[in-house]
Chains A and B, each alone.
Chain A
Amino acid sequence: MAKQKITPSIDPAACYVLDVAELMGISTSFSRAANHKPCTVGSGQAGVCCKNCYMGPCRITKEGQVGICGATLETIAARNLARAIAAGAAAHSDHGRDLAFTLHAVATGEAQGYAIRDEAKLYAVAAKHGIPTKGKTVMETALDVANKAISEFGQQRGELSYISTAPPKRQKLWRDQRVAPRGIDREVVEILHRTHIGDDQDASHILLSAVRTALSDGWGGSMWATDISDILFGTPSPKVGGVNLGCLEEKQVNIIVHGHEPTLSEMIVAAVQDPDLIEYAKSKGAEGINLAGICCTANEVMMRQGIPSAGNFLTQELAILTGAVEAMVVDVQCIMQSLVGVAEHFHTEIITTSPKVKITGATHIEFDEHHAMDIAKNIVRRAIDNYANRGEMHIPTGDGMSEQMVPGFSHEYLAYMQGGNYRASFRPLNDAIASGRIRGVAANVGCNNPGFTHDQVHMDVVAELLKNDVLVVSTGCGAIAAGKYGYMKGSTALDPEKVGPGLREVCEAIGIPPVLHLGSCVDNSRILTVLSQMATEGGLGDDISDIPAVGLAPEWMSEKALAIATYCVGSGAYVIMGVRNPVDFSDAVSHIMSNEWEERFGGKLEFVIEAEEIVRHTLEHIDKKRAALKLPAYDPARFGESGDAALAAYLELPVEEQMAELYG
Chain B
Amino acid sequence: MSRYIATRAIRGANLIVQEADALLSKALQEKGADCPVAFPNTAYYLPTIYGMTGREVTKLDELTPVLEHAKDLLHPVPAAQYWTPYLGETLDSGMSTLLAAEIIEAIRFVYGEEPGRLAGFHATGSSFTSPDGDVAGGPGGNGRLNGPIDDVQLRAWGIQLVDGRMPGFAAIVGCAKSNEVAVKIVRELQKRNILIFLCGNVNGRSVIHQLQEEGVEMGYDTYIVPFGLDTLSAIYPIGFATRSALTFGGMKGGQAKDILQYNRQRVFAFVLALGEVDDLKYAAAAGAINYGFPVIADTRIPQILPTGVTTYEHVISMPFNEIEGKDDLERAEKLVQKCIETRGVKIKMTEVPIPVPYGSAFEGEVVRKKDMRVEFGGKYSRAFEYLRMVDMDQVEDGKIEIIGPDFADVPEAGAMDMSILVEVAGRKMQKDFEPVLERQIHYFINGASGVQHIGQRDITWIRISKAAADKGFTLKHFGEIVHARLMADFGAIVDKVQVKIITEPTLHAEWLQKAREAYDYRNNRLADMTDESVEEFYTCTLCQSFAPTHLCLVSPQRLGLCGAYNYLDCAASYQINPTGPNQPVRKGMLIDREKGIYAGLNEITQQKSNGTVQEVSMYSIMTSPMTACGCFECIVMLIPEANGVMVVSREDTSMTPAGMTFSTLAGMAGGGLQTPGVMGIGKYYLTSPKFISADGGFSRIVWMSSVLKQTMAAELQAVCEREGDPDLLSKIADETICTEVDDLLVYLEATGHPALMMEPMF
Indicate if the CB atoms of B177 and A422 lie closer than 8 Å. Answer: no
Nearest-Cβ distance from residue B491 to partner chain A, whole angstroms:
34
Q: A511-B84, A511-B87 are in contact. Are A421 and B92 (CB under 8 A)?
A: yes
User: Is A54 in contact with chain B by the CB < 8 A criterion?
Assistant: no
Bound CA–CA A400/B1 (angstroms):
31
Closest to A647 in B: B302
User: Is A107 in contact with chain B by the CB < 8 A criterion?
Assistant: no
Indicate if the CB atoms of B305 and A419 lie closer than 8 Å. Answer: no
User: Is B322 in contact with chain A by the CB < 8 A criterion?
Assistant: yes
Indicate if the CB atoms of B303 and A420 lie closer than 8 Å. Answer: no
User: Is B309 in contact with chain A by the CB < 8 A criterion?
Assistant: yes
Q: A428-B306, A646-B303, A664-B319 are in contact. Are A417 and B85 (CB under 8 A)?
A: yes
User: Is A283 in contact with chain B by the CB < 8 A criterion?
Assistant: no
Q: A423-B260, A427-B308 are in contact. Are A659 and B88 (CB under 8 A)?
A: no
The count of residues in chain B whose C-beta lies closer than 8 Å to any C-beta of chain A is 50
Q: A642-B303, A647-B301 are in contact. Are A420 and B2 (CB under 8 A)?
A: no
Q: A423-B91, A427-B309, A642-B306 are in contact. Are A238 and B84 (CB under 8 A)?
A: yes
Indicate if the CB atoms of B299 and A663 lie closer than 8 Å. Answer: yes
User: Is B233 in contact with chain A by the CB < 8 A criterion?
Assistant: no
Report how many A-B pairs have Cβ atoms within 8 Å: 155
Bound CA–CA A416/B84 (angstroms):
13
Indicate if the CB atoms of B302 and A643 lie closer than 8 Å. Answer: yes
User: Is B321 in contact with chain A by the CB < 8 A criterion?
Assistant: yes
Interface residues of A in 403-432 (CB under 8 A from B): 404, 406, 408, 416-425, 427-432
**Chain B 73-87 near chain A by CB (<8 Å), digits 1 or 0:** 100001101111111
Indicate if the CB atoms of B85 and A511 lie closer than 8 Å. Answer: yes
Indicate if the CB atoms of A418 and B300 lie closer than 8 Å. Answer: no
Closest to B2 in A: A644
Nearest-Cβ distance from residue B290 to partner chain A, whole angstroms:
6
Bound CA–CA A418/B299 (angstroms):
26
User: Is A491 in contact with chain B by the CB < 8 A criterion?
Assistant: yes
Chain A residues whose CB sits within 8 angstroms of the CB of B338 once the complex forms: none
Partner of A418, one of B177, B276, B309, B322: B309
Indicate if the CB atoms of B84 and A431 lie closer than 8 Å. Answer: no
Interface residues of B in 249-308 (CB under 8 A from A): 256-257, 260-261, 275-276, 290, 298-308
Indicate if the CB atoms of B307 and A428 lie closer than 8 Å. Answer: yes
Partner of B95, one of A422, A437, A641: A422
Bound CA–CA A267/B322 (angstroms):
60
Chain A residues whose CB sits within 8 angstroms of the CB of B90 once the complex forms: 420
Partner of B4, one of A404, A428, A432, A647: A647
Nearest-Cβ distance from residue B126 to partner chain A, whole angstroms:
35
Chain A residues whose CB sits within 8 angstroms of the CB of B320 once the complex forms: 663-664
Bound CA–CA A238/B75 (angstroms):
13
Nearest-Cβ distance from residue B329 to partner chain A, whole angstroms:
15
Nearest-Cβ distance from residue A483 to partner chain B, whole angstroms:
12
Indicate if the CB atoms of B306 and A406 lie closer than 8 Å. Answer: no
Chain A residues whose CB sits within 8 angstroms of the CB of B290 once the complex forms: 420, 422-423
User: Is B334 in contact with chain A by the CB < 8 A criterion?
Assistant: no
Indicate if the CB atoms of B81 and A664 lie closer than 8 Å. Answer: no
Nearest-Cβ distance from residue B273 to partner chain A, whole angstroms:
12
Partner of A510, one of B87, B301, B307: B87
Indicate if the CB atoms of A406 and B84 lie closer than 8 Å. Answer: yes
Indicate if the CB atoms of A419 and B309 lie closer than 8 Å. Answer: yes
Chain B residues whose CB sits within 8 angstroms of the CB of A491 once the complex forms: 81-82
Nearest-Cβ distance from residue A170 to partner chain B, whole angstroms:
24
Chain B residues whose CB sits within 8 angstroms of the CB of A511 once the complex forms: 1, 3, 6, 78, 83-87
User: Is A661 in contact with chain B by the CB < 8 A criterion?
Assistant: yes
Indicate if the CB atoms of A642 and B73 lie closer than 8 Å. Answer: no
User: Is A187 in contact with chain B by the CB < 8 A criterion?
Assistant: no
User: Is B570 in contact with chain A by the CB < 8 A criterion?
Assistant: no
User: Is A662 in contact with chain B by the CB < 8 A criterion?
Assistant: yes
User: Is A6 in contact with chain B by the CB < 8 A criterion?
Assistant: no
Indicate if the CB atoms of A643 and B300 lie closer than 8 Å. Answer: no
Chain A residues whose CB sits within 8 angstroms of the CB of B95 once the complex forms: 420-422
Nearest-Cβ distance from residue B89 to partner chain A, whole angstroms:
7
Bound CA–CA A148/B112 (angstroms):
59
Bound CA–CA A417/B89 (angstroms):
7
Nearest-Cβ distance from residue B3 to partner chain A, whole angstroms:
6
| Best-surrounded residue of A406, A417, A511, A650 (most CB of chain B within 10 A) | A511
**Chain A 627-642 near chain B by CB (<8 Å), digits 1 or 0:** 0000000000001011
Indicate if the CB atoms of A240 and B88 lie closer than 8 Å. Answer: no
Chain A residues whose CB sits within 8 angstroms of the CB of B257 once the complex forms: 422-423
**Chain A 471-500 near chain B by CB (<8 Å), digits 1 or 0:** 000000000000000000111000000000
Indicate if the CB atoms of B321 and A663 lie closer than 8 Å. Answer: yes
Closest to A424 in B: B88
Nearest-Cβ distance from residue A307 to partner chain B, whole angstroms:
16
Q: A420-B95, A422-B260, A644-B3 are in contact. Are A238 and B85 (CB under 8 A)?
A: yes
Interface-forming stretch among A209-217, A291-299, A501-509?
A501-509
Chain A residues whose CB sits within 8 angstroms of the CB of B11 once the complex forms: none
Nearest-Cβ distance from residue A637 to partner chain B, whole angstroms:
14
Interface residues of A in 177-217 (CB under 8 A from B): none
Given contacts A511-B87, A643-B303, 9 further A-B contacts (CB under 8 A): A422-B92, A427-B309, A428-B309, A431-B307, A435-B306, A437-B306, A490-B3, A662-B300, A663-B177
Chain B residues near A (Cβ < 8 Å): 1-4, 6, 52, 73, 78-79, 81-92, 94-95, 177, 256-257, 260-261, 275-276, 290, 298-309, 313-315, 319-322
Residue pairs across A and B with Cβ atoms less than 8 A apart, 30 shown, are A238-B84, A238-B85, A404-B82, A406-B84, A418-B88, A419-B87, A422-B290, A423-B91, A423-B257, A423-B309, A424-B88, A428-B307, A428-B309, A431-B306, A432-B307, A435-B307, A489-B82, A490-B82, A490-B84, A509-B2, A509-B305, A511-B1, A511-B86, A642-B305, A643-B303, A644-B4, A647-B301, A663-B321, A664-B319, A664-B321
